[in-house]
Structure 1
């Protein structure tokens, strides 16, 4: 026995013809795949990411003006050709480091180590 349905609009006119019922195989397949996923509960709070701090007038750390008006560089310039002129190396407690190319000069300890 076949079950058919027709859809009729407000005015009584026929909107769609008979709708065939789905076959048994497609009905079973749809009922298996339509489960809603359970919401995940988080155990730890979100990690707070590091934000870069803007240093105002940071160029003043690279140069020093003498009493005579002569300009002196306080940082070492990177000798690598790909960095170019005006690229300064960072001063760390045990090394000089270029942030652009990764060149590192490690200080030698005077104690023999």
Structure 2
């Protein structure tokens, strides 16, 4: 993570740049310390089995899913369906933005 970027937030979207899942998007579901976060996508990585990831292997996107963030704050967990829905919505918006830019 660069100095200019703020610390990771619960519910924040990330792009995985290193490892087996490189090239995929996920959501931060927990923060271990300043160096590691837990990410999940609701499909291959469900909430109950998140992936511990080094922040240097992630590209943090300046966007947070309020549904995921509120669910984790209120109940301490989030459904895998909600994670999948948030990611699908985000990826579709990203694709629409790319088409607008062309």
TM range (shorter): under 0.3
Higher relative contact order (CA 8 A, sep 6+): 2
Higher-helix-fraction structure: 2
Largest Rg, 1 or 2: 1
Length-normalised TM-score, structure 1: 0.21
Higher-strand-fraction structure: 2
